[in-house]
Structure 1
Amino acid sequence: MKKNKKMLLQCVLCLTILFCMSQILPIINFYEPSEINITTNVIENITLQEQIYSVLPSCVYIEAKVIYEGWNGESITSIRSGSGVIVSKDGLIVTAGHMVDRAIKITVRLNDGREFEAVEWQKENYTDLGLIKIDSNNLPTVLLGDSDNEFLGNQVFIIGCPFGKQLYNTVTTGIVSGLKRDIDLFGEKLLIQVDSQAWPGNSGGGLFNSNGELIGVLVGAMSGYDGISVCIPGNIVKLMLDKYNSEQDIVKAQ
């Protein structure tokens, strides 16, 4: 009799343990950290790729023929290469001001391979921003974001053409690492600092946030220091475009 009771108790205990395990295991599986992290990372990567591909058609390669005075007063001609972003369907392009300074001829290469000779261009007087106009229509454009809404640590990416057209539309990613920088080297204030890599030829390239909005224009990087690139904020770009739209006039840079 005692033996039967003992066996009965053991059976009840086993059934109780099995029932408890059946309730606990689904909870453990559902909250498994590695599973959640993998899913989140995949979604973020796809979103970033989509944003990059959405703005690529609006990013251009710029080649400028410039003339400057040499040490002995002679005129020297050279070729300067850089980057830019289309901001209007009829061919208005934003770039760095030093890209168009002293230019006598500018050629723009679109993402689809077409090339246009610029009909007008200008360098802003108070900031290192430039505008280029090509004669075309129905071009892809970017959305202008609010650079005042960017914060330290926000994910960003830059699209440009380092070292010429061979590395056309190179993408680098990073974060906002500084805001409202006043750097004498560039003669600019209120610069956005990012840790994305930048090289010669990236000047004028677009700085985009994770929503694919243009929030700045790259104007340079600290020579000898990796991961210190600076951009003019997008809201300053907006002011320049507002001025252009009100005057509808571009004066060639001299």
Structure 2
Amino acid sequence: MRRLFSALFPCILLLLVLLAAFQGRNSSAALSETELENRIWQLSVVLLGENAEGSGCIYGYDEERQALVIITAGHVLKELQGSIEVKLADGTVLPAASSLAAEECDLGYVYLPYEKLPEKEKAYFEKEADGKFGEFLQIRESNSLQKNDAFHMTDKISTGECSFVTGYVVDPDRYLEEFGCEMIYADGGAVPGMSGSGMFDDSGRLIGILCGATEQYELAGVPAERIKKYRQ
């Protein structure tokens, strides 16, 4: 028995190491409620159009454009029309340089010139980048989500203040005919103006972008891994 254990021990050790590595890539320590709310608040923006407003989430930095990349829902861009302004967490309102919508998914991208940011905002994002300035957000892919996993969003529009909303995953990969693709299907409260909000797990990782809600508390979000796929 001792010889058998000695022979198997290296294999067992290797399996444990591989398992730990796999879990490390797919798990992250939960943030405190205050840390989580601060992170979501800092990364959430209000998009202002000529006759409408919507929500968005700061995703990262585009080196070619030298701009912050803000993710929103594609239909939000259509509603905003014309020139778009971005209201940051500190209340600063700045004009966006450009925007575009993905053709195959309800995602939109808004680009905000980095040089126009207040120094305090720059300091925050440079700290968050931690050497990887292209992306401030950690992404959690939908294949790691489970039923009843909690996620969190912010409502900065309906009350004029920042409030937080929690939802729960029902199905992380459900085809929804109205969107024409697989979406995160969930339940939770949402109000008009929240489309385009980031959906964050307990560790502050982005799992998706809110794109739809019903009066029956049904929610639909574009999975976060599609941000890179459709980004141009």
Instruction: Tell me the CA shift for residue 146 of structure 1.
Output: 2.1
The DSSP-based 3-state class of the residue aligned with 2:60 is coil
Of 194, 209, 219, the residue aligned with 1:229 is 219
CA distance 1:46–1:142, shift in 2 (3 Å): closer
Give the residue type in structure 2 aligned to 1:207. Answer: M
The DSSP-based 3-state class of the residue aligned with 1:156 is strand
CA contact 2:84–2:96 (8 Å) conserved in 1: yes
**Is it true that 1:88 corresponds to 2:60 in the alignment?**
yes
Instruction: Tell me the CA shift for residue 183 of structure 1.
Output: 2.3
TM-score, normalisation: structure 2: 0.71
Deviations 1:12-42 (A, max 9, x none): xxxxxxxxxxxxxxxxxxxxxxxxxxxxxxx
- Matched with 1:204 is 196
The DSSP-based 3-state class of the residue aligned with 1:101 is helix
Give the residue type in structure 2 aligned to 1:156. Answer: F
Residue identity over aligned pairs, in percent, reads 24
**Is it true that 1:110 corresponds to 2:88 in the alignment?**
yes
Higher helix share: 1
- Matched with 1:7 is none
- Matched with 1:190 is 182
Q: Distance in 2 between matches of 1:169 and 1:142?
A: 20
Alignment of 1:118-197 (within 5 A): 118-137=96-115, 138=122, 140=125, 141-163=136-158, 166-185=159-178, 187-197=179-189
Q: Distance in 2 between matches of 1:148 and 1:52?
A: 25
Unaligned runs of 5+ residues in structure 2 are 1-28, 62-66, 116-121, 126-135
- Matched with 2:78 is 101
Deviations 1:115-144 (A, max 9, x none): 111110011111110000111253634322
TM-score, normalisation: structure 1: 0.65
CA distance 1:104–1:209, shift in 2 (3 Å): same
Determine which structure has more spread, i.e. the larger CA radius of gyration. Answer: 1
Give the residue type in structure 1 aligned to 2:167. Answer: G
The DSSP-based 3-state class of the residue aligned with 2:190 is coil
Instruction: Tell me the CA shift for residue 168 of structure 1.
Output: 4.2
Q: Distance in 1 between matches of 2:177 and 2:141?
A: 25
The DSSP-based 3-state class of the residue aligned with 1:211 is coil
Deviations 1:58-93 (A, max 9, x none): 11001122xxxxxxxxxxxxx121111111243110
The DSSP-based 3-state class of the residue aligned with 2:84 is strand
Unaligned runs of 5+ residues in structure 1 are 1-43, 66-78, 245-254
